[in-house]
Amino acid sequence: MAAMPKAPRVSAQWRNVGRIVARRLGLSVFLLIGITTMTFVLSHVVPGDPVATMLGDRGTPREIARMRSQLGLDRPLPLQYASYLWNLAHLRLGTSIRTRRPVLKDLADYFPATLELSTCALLLSLALGIPLGIASALRRDRPLDHAARLFSLGGVSMPVFWLALVLLALCYGRWDILPAGGRLSDFTLPPPHVTGLLLVDSLLANDWVAFRDAAWHLIAPSICLGYLTTATLARQVRAQMLEVLNQDYIRMARGLGLSEPVVILKYALKNAMLPVITVIGLSYGSLLSGAVLTETIFSWPGIGRYAVGSSISLDFPALMGVTLLIAVLYGVVNLCVDLLYLVLDPRIRDGAAREIE
Partner 1 sequence: MSRQSTRHPSPSTGASRKGTPGKPRPRQQPSRVWQGLKRNPLSVVGLVVVVFFLLLAVVGPYLTPYDPTAQDLRAALQPPSRAHFFGTDSLGCDVFSRVIAGARYSVPSGFVVVAAAVIIGLLIGSVAGFAGGWTDEILMRVTDLFLAFPSLILAMAIAGALGPSLPNALAAIAVTWWPAYARLVRGEVLRVKQAQYVEAARALGVTPARILWVHVLPNCMAPVVVAATLDLGSVILTAAGLSFIGFGAQPPEPEWGAMINAGRAYLGSQAWIIAFPGLAVLTCVMGFNLFGDGLRDALDPRSVRNQGSSASKNA
Partner 2 sequence: MSTLLEVRGLNVSFDAVRVVHDIDLTLERGETLGIVGETGSGKSVSSSALMGLLPVPPARVRAATLSFDGRSLLRGNELDLRAVGRERGRGMAMIFQDPSSALNPLFTIGDVLMAVIRRHRKLRGTALRTCAVELLEAVGLPSPSHILDSYPHQLSGGMKQRTAIAMTLAAKPSLLIADEPTTALDATVATQVLALLADLQRESGVAMLFISHDLGVVSRVCSRVAVMYAGRIVEEAPVDTLFRAPSHPYTRGLFAARPHLRLPSMLGERRVEHHERRALLAIPGSVPTPAQLPAGCAFHPRCYHATADCNARVPVLETLPTPPQALTGHSELHPARVACFHPVLNAPPQGD
The piece of 64-72, 95-103, 181-189, 255-263 that touches partner 2 (CB under 8 A) is: 255-263
- Contact flag: residue 11 with partner 1 (CB under 8 A): no
- Contact flag: residue 267 with partner 2 (CB under 8 A): yes
Note whether 338 and 330 are within 8 A (CB).
no
- The binder of partner 1 chosen from 236, 250, 298, 337 (CB under 8 A): 236
Residue 158 binding: pick among partner 2, partner 1, none (C-beta 5-8 Å cut-off by kind): partner 1
- The binder of partner 1 chosen from 160, 214, 263, 273 (CB under 8 A): 160
Kindly state the number of chain residues that form the binding site for partner 2, as judged by CB under 8 A: 38
317-354 burial by CB neighbour count: b if 16+ within 10 A, else e?
bbbbbbbbbbbebbbbbbbebbebbbeebeebbebeee
* Torsions phi, psi for 102 (to 5 deg): -55, 135
- Contact flag: residue 127 with partner 1 (CB under 8 A): no
Residues 122-181 that bind partner 2 (CB under 8 A): 140-141
Note whether 298 and 171 are within 8 A (CB).
no
Residue 357 binding: pick among partner 2, partner 1, none (C-beta 5-8 Å cut-off by kind): partner 1
Give the SS3 label for residue 102: strand
- Contact flag: residue 48 with partner 1 (CB under 8 A): yes
Residue 177 binding: pick among partner 2, partner 1, none (C-beta 5-8 Å cut-off by kind): none
Note whether 156 and 235 are within 8 A (CB).
yes
Residue 239 binding: pick among partner 2, partner 1, none (C-beta 5-8 Å cut-off by kind): partner 1
Residue 2 binding: pick among partner 1, partner 2, none (C-beta 5-8 Å cut-off by kind): partner 2
- The binder of partner 1 chosen from 148, 250, 268, 293 (CB under 8 A): 293
- Contact flag: residue 157 with partner 1 (CB under 8 A): yes
Q: What is the DSSP letter of 6?
A: -
Q: How far is CA 113 from the centre of its chain?
A: 12
Residue 68 binding: pick among partner 1, partner 2, none (C-beta 5-8 Å cut-off by kind): none
> Taking Cα atoms as reference points, which of 317, 336, 305, 303 lies closest to residue 111?
303
- DSSP count for the chain of H helices, then E strands: 16, 0
Q: What angle do CA 15, 19, 25 make, to 5 degrees?
A: 140
Q: Which is nearer to partner 2, 66 or 270 (CB)?
A: 270
- How many whole angstroms separate alpha carbon 95 and alpha carbon 321? 10
- How many whole angstroms separate alpha carbon 91 and alpha carbon 328? 13
Count, residues in the chain: 357
- Contact flag: residue 336 with partner 1 (CB under 8 A): no
Considering just the CA atoms, what is the radius of gyration of the chain in Å?
25
Residue 255 binding: pick among partner 1, partner 2, none (C-beta 5-8 Å cut-off by kind): partner 2
- The binder of partner 1 chosen from 88, 314, 337, 348 (CB under 8 A): 314
- How many whole angstroms separate alpha carbon 231 and alpha carbon 118? 15
- The binder of partner 2 chosen from 47, 76, 143, 257 (CB under 8 A): 257
Which residues sit at the interface with partner 2, rule CB under 8 A?
A: 1-8, 140-141, 245-260, 262, 267, 270-271, 274, 344-347, 350, 352-353
